[in-house]
Structure 1
Amino acid sequence: MSPGRWPTQQRVRRARHLLESSDLSVQRVAHEVGFATATSLRRHLAAQAGAAPSTYRRTCRASDPAEGGVGAAPPGSAV
């Protein structure tokens, strides 16, 4: 990996974490991780994760068992 590509990869990694774990706006997530614009975050996230930020967030939350999404344990079952 080129030295210039590493920071972008780390920014996207941190953005993914924030999208999964917070309700921050896409603009705020972009700012927090060091992208100049939400458009830049969208472009890099789509290239690495194959999804727009809002789609990525919805998909992750829908598949989070703690949120009751796909893969969640049935109500009343022991986990």
Structure 2
Amino acid sequence: MQTPLRKVRVELNLTISEVANAINCDVGNLSRLERGIQTASLELAEKLTAFYRGKITELEILYPHRYQQQNNKTV
């Protein structure tokens, strides 16, 4: 299962390093967010939403498991 955060990055053909560097975030931290192991801070969620220009919402970043289940039901 992919989190919405990982899904949008893959769809845009970006590496995790490119995103981490663009938002000034540690690659390991971003990796844990994408795998749903760690929860993003509000500040980081805002940075990611701005970076992806609305292709993902703060709610999808802050509560990835809610959106993973929803996406799996529609597949």
TM superposition score normalised by structure 1: 0.34
TM superposition score normalised by structure 2: 0.35
Whose Rg is larger?
Answer: 1
Structure possessing the higher relative contact order (Cα contacts under 8 Å, 6 or more residues apart)? 2
